[in-house]
Amino acid sequence: MRKISDTITRLAAFRAGPGFQSSGQGCDRLLDLGDFGSNPGALRARIYVPDDLPEAAPLVVVLHGCTQTAAGYDHGSGWSQLADQEGFALLFPEQQRANNPNLCFNWFVPGDTKRNGGEALSIRHMIEAVVVEYGLDRKRIFIIGLSAGGAMTSVMLACYPEVFAGGAIIAGLPYGSAKTIPEAFDRMRGHGMPSERQLQKALRNASPHQGPWPSISVWHGSADQTVASSNADAIIAQWRAIHGLDARSVRSEIVDAHLRRVWCNAQGHELIEDYRIAGMGHGTPLDTTGDAALGAEGPFMLDVGISSTRHIARFWGIAKLCVKRDAKVKPARANSEPLGASFARGFSLPKARVPNVPHSAKRANIQPSQKPNSAAGIRKVIEDALRSAGLMH
């Protein structure tokens, strides 16, 4: 049986080649952020600032998923559309192929997931640079991510809780759940998760912060076969404990035909919300029709009749709730790709650091997307590789 690491290497090399198209490509509305510090994680920084940005506006940090780019995720999710409507700035950290051939944030690599180190510190430096440059409100900084970006959102919320007023994790994993590639695979499949006490300890030990803590929005598809929904349960338990919320003190309601659960403090303030999108696979929930429309459907950007972008911003208090009128509820759906391809897209790879390489030189490793010669051929290669590794039958 071929080792998992060998399979990952072969799949990554294939994906980095000319026959693979990064998902979520579309209109690029973003600008590059220049110098923002030492950048130990060697990430790229992109921003969107509306022309009429008000003084002391909020900031939303958006982390894309594997195989995606910052511009592609913005196009799909509609965050810059909402920023124009509501008046807030956006920061999009972007992974580079020199760090990770699959464009995943390295959410489980110890050097990238600790306070004041690696990719986490690079993102922290970006935030500081944007806040200073545009005079943004330090009390209204929020962060959201999908998949590996969702797991990296967990990292940022754990390592820098004093920075964020709120966070949103879509199809992600809890902080401290994995430190190696085999552990990452197991956690994604819902196997071997540390105990609630261990996860809570990891969160408390990630920073010297003693509170108050950011509010948390969790989104997950019930049919997600890339990241098991038990990860959403673990995230909620991790943050519920640090907020001191009773597991039984939960309110349930139906929003746009989907279940929403909410945990509030003694004052009635909503601190944690949980959306489970029935029948949806791995991706960001969208609503691309009607009065509440945002974004565009694509790979891992799933039009299921509810806009996670708009609802998350409303939860944070930086957007108005747009009531849908005469909108037909769309059935949630699983990702259209077969399990093998979907699972393979979700992994993250550790980076091989190159010492003393200028940041500008590393940017040159970002490869433009190209159309695949045959979607069926790509799926066959991925599935054959997984079968040879014993990960598919």
- pLDDT tens per residue across span 167-206: 999 999 999 999 999 999 999 999 999 999 999 999 999 9
Q: Does domain 22-369 have CATH number 3.60.21.10?
A: no
Q: What angle do CA 148, 210, 42 make, to 5 degrees?
A: 35
pLDDT tens-digit map of 76-120:
999 999 999 999 999 999 999 999 999 999 999 999 999 999 999
Query: Domain coordinates of the chain in residue numbers?
Result: 22-369
In the prediction, which pLDDT does 206 show? Answer: 98
In the prediction, which pLDDT does 175 show? Answer: 98
| Positions of the chain with pLDDT under 50 | 1-25, 325-379, 381-393
**Residue among 147, 215, 307, 348 flagged as catalytic:** 147
Residue 77 annotated in active site: no
Q: How many CB atoms lie within 10 A of CB 15?
A: 22
Mean pLDDT of the chain: 82
Q: What angle do CA 218, 219, 220 make, to 5 degrees?
A: 125
In the prediction, which pLDDT does 372 show? Answer: 34
